[in-house]
Amino acid sequence: MEIVSRTYDELCSLKTFDERFEYLKLNGRVADITFGFDRYLNQMFYKSLKWKAIRRDIIVRDLGCDLGLEGYEIYNSIYIHHMNPISKEDILDNTDYLFNPDYLICSSFRTHNAIHYGDESPNIITERRSGDTCPWK
């Protein structure tokens, strides 16, 4: 399997949200390949002071915008997405993928989950109709 390294510079060359989403989407599952039963490593990593500092820097760089795209401000929890999924070995070996800003991007919860699990852009808006009382459609 060929390993594709996604970068912030390449991402920024894409001008639309949908192009950026297509570039990042994985169509995979989060914990299977990356951590499985070693999830405690992942949790310790995300609580570290070093991670909290780079997280803050990425939010400032991306102006708190989804996929770093102005006009897509995130008004609730901001996720910092590793554009190249990290593994147990990345944490144990302290690889460049962990803290290098060129491999990190701001995302909303919805976008982050769509990158990992979805097959459609989370930017798609369903048209509401009269009598539609289901708020999550």
pLDDT tens profile 9-26: 999 999 999 999 999 998
Kindly state the percentage of the chain with pLDDT values over 90. 61
Question: Maximum CA pair distance of the chain?
Answer: 56
pTM to 2 decimal places = 0.81
Looking at the chain, the number of H-run helices and the number of E-run strands are 7, 2
User: CA-to-CA distance for 38 and 42, rounded, in angstroms?
Assistant: 7
pLDDT tens profile 71-103: 999 999 999 999 998 888 899 999 999 999 999
Helices 17-24 and 109-117: angle between axes, nearest 10 degrees: 50
Task: Using DSSP, state whether 45 is helix, strand or coil.
Answer: helix
Return the bridge partners of 65, or none: 73
